[in-house]
Amino acid sequence: MRALALALALACVNVFLWFVRNLARPLRARWRAKERLRALVVLGSGGHTSEMLSLLERLPADSYAPRTYVVARTDDKSASKALERERRLSGASASVVRIGRAREVGQSFLTSAATTAFALVEAVAVVRRCAPDVVFCNGPGTCVPVVFAAMLRRALGWSTPAVIFVESACRTRTLSLTGKILYHLRCADAMCVMWEGVHERYPRTDFIGRAF
């Protein structure tokens, strides 16, 4: 059963890849001329959330607004940290939305297929409702359905956000599993890494140095 589930998952990925590569239209650049960009920020848990919030501190809040934070339904701490940050920003415009995790730690491949499908459906609804200009993510598996939802819109020729992936600072030699998925499927418009060794191993990434 595990082999069958894995084969089905790979088949779905291959179909999605063919769909994006053959039918996707070029990224629409209308958002580049905007003074404000609607931002969708995917938070993981623990270190991922801390890193992403630290990265956001380096960006002008007024230029990326309103902000919508996407967190896993079982992750209460990340939502609290995001809202706490927003309360410190004068006149901040932000909200939090929750989706299911694509895969919990230790979850079997068989059940992961179902939870990933449900998470993707929820992510499609979130991207459609929020209509972001840019998606920021930095490693948690929660971001995969959100990025796939953005790519699906791109494949259909609809207005689509730019996807910016910043790999976690703890990945000093290789990309995370999420990073590898987005890198090999070419789902991100920019993939930033903080260590030269990772950039050398994955040349299509952008080396930005230690961000914090």
pTM, 2 dp: 0.82
Q: DSSP of 3-52, one letter per residue? A: HHHHHHHHHHHHHHHHHHHHHPPPPP-GGGG-SS--EEEE--STHHHHHH
181 and 202 Cβ atoms separated by less than 8 Å: no
pLDDT band of residue 10 (cuts 50, 70, 90) is low
- The number of CA neighbours under 13 Å toward the Cβ of 209 is 0
- Mean pLDDT value of segment 104-109: 60
Q: Does pLDDT of 27 surpass 70? A: no
173 and 205 Cβ atoms separated by less than 8 Å: no
Q: Does pLDDT of 112 surpass 70? A: no
Residue type, 87: R
Q: Does pLDDT of 29 surpass 60? A: no
Q: Write down the CATH superfamily of domain 2-101+109-207.
A: Glycogen Phosphorylase B; (3.40.50.2000)
Give the whole-angstrom CA distance, residue 40 versus residue 134. Answer: 6
Domain ranges of the chain: 2-101+109-207
> What pLDDT score was predicted for residue 5?
53
Per residue, what are the HEC states of 116-169? HHHHHHHHHHHHHHHCCCEEEECCCCCHHHHHHHHHHHHHCCCCCCEEEEECCC
pLDDT band of residue 107 (cuts 50, 70, 90) is low
Sheet holding 206-207, edge to edge: 94-99, 67-72, 39-42, 134-137, 162-166, 190-193, 206-207
Place of tokens 């819109």: 153
The number of residues in the chain equals 212
Q: Does pLDDT of 42 surpass 70? A: yes
Q: Does pLDDT of 175 surpass 90? A: yes
108 and 136 Cβ atoms separated by less than 8 Å: no
